[in-house]
Amino acid sequence: MSAISRREVLGTLAASLAAPALLRAKGRGRRLPIAFSTLGCPGWTWPTVLDQADRLGYAGIELRGIQGDMDLTKRPELTGDGLKRTRRDLEARGIVVTDLGASAHMHEKDPALRTAQLDEGRRFIDLAHALGVPYVRMFGDKMPPDEPKEDALKRIVDGFQQMAAYAKPAGVTVLIESHGDFTHSSDLQTIIEGVGSPAFALLWDAHHTFVAGGEAPADTYKRLGRYMRHTHLKDSKPEGNDHRYVLTGTGVVPVKEQVRVLATNGYKGFYCYEWEKKWHPEIEEPEVAFPHYVKVMTEYLAQAGVKV
């Protein structure tokens, strides 16, 4: 079997694993399409991540670091025999890895820095292929203030075109997240359509388009919904000149409405909890936040017509 055909087979497998309708463990019932990012539990070991996801009823895990180590490509759980064990452990629990969260960002202008970002992107795509994961998240990130916007967008589009071209034969899709300086639908649409690849789509961080972008959920979905493959959901409330992350349903972010918009428009991906404990150690522990999210999201999804 050629290298490309092996990639295509794994890509097909990854897509099937990501479909909530197929999330079923041996001897277990089906689960709601909810996931959490490991950004929210930087102190947990990998066995703890698996055990807690299983116990709480999560169907998926987004890998954004393990025990605070953000370079997943060097983790023992995801290399060599460790990767084989990880795949077996996930299958035994009926849990999938929804996506890999890379730190690669496409705005860099310096040749050496840009090369490093592209290299990280390729390494994460290779890992996704080996693990059978359908998506790798990357960033546009910054809009440099010292150059015309059009030049920055052109460079970002070029970077993502390279990433998508590398990912396509691996059966992997690269996702740009609505994050950083890219929280407005118009800019994201420009990039996605500029890249113009079936191996490139959107991770909708619904918090950022609402809080930083000032967009109503329905307006964001109307413009970008056809590109959405994965989500980040979280709540916050104003604190000083910024926002503090709070437990879902206790802040000002219309998470319930975001879920309704997604569900009623036929979204088929995961409703992923991105609790930013890694970057904000002062917020509640995952032992508090993760079960709370399950409870609230179960209610929200039921009201939106999503059933197990």
Per-residue pLDDT tens digits for 188-243: 999 999 999 999 999 999 999 999 999 999 999 999 999 999 999 999 999 999 99
* For residue 75, pLDDT beyond 80: yes
State the Cα–Cα distance between residues 282 and 304, nearest whole angstrom. Answer: 32
* For residue 136, pLDDT beyond 50: yes
Mean pLDDT (whole number) for 74-78? 97
Residues counted in the chain? 308
**Residue bearing tokens 């393990």:** 66
pLDDT of residue 11: 42
Domains, the chain, ordered by start: 3-303 (3.20.20.150)
Q: At a CB cut-off of 8 Å and minimum separation 6, what does 194 contact?
A: 153, 154, 157
* Helix/strand/coil percentages in the chain, nearest 5: 50, 20, 30
* For residue 114, pLDDT beyond 80: yes
State the Cα–Cα distance between residues 76 and 202, nearest whole angstrom. Answer: 29
Q: At a CB cut-off of 8 Å and minimum separation 6, what does 50 contact?
A: 61, 89, 90, 93, 95
State the Cα–Cα distance between residues 212 and 215, nearest whole angstrom. Answer: 8
pLDDT level of residue 263 (50, 70, 90 thresholds): very high
Total-model pTM = 0.91
C-alpha distance from residue 186 to each of 137, 142, 144, 153, 262 (Å): 19, 15, 18, 12, 19
pLDDT level of residue 1 (50, 70, 90 thresholds): very low
Q: At a CB cut-off of 8 Å and minimum separation 6, what does 69 contact?
A: 75
Mean pLDDT (whole number) for 112-126? 98
Token duo for residue 191: 């990039």
* For residue 295, pLDDT beyond 80: yes
pLDDT level of residue 60 (50, 70, 90 thresholds): very high
Name the residue among 58, 204, 224 with its Cα closest to residue 137: 204
Q: What's the first-to-final CA gap in the chain, in angstroms?
A: 38
Across the chain, mean pLDDT equals 92
Token duo for residue 139: 């960033």
Name the residue among 255, 251, 257, 252 with its Cα closest to residue 273: 255
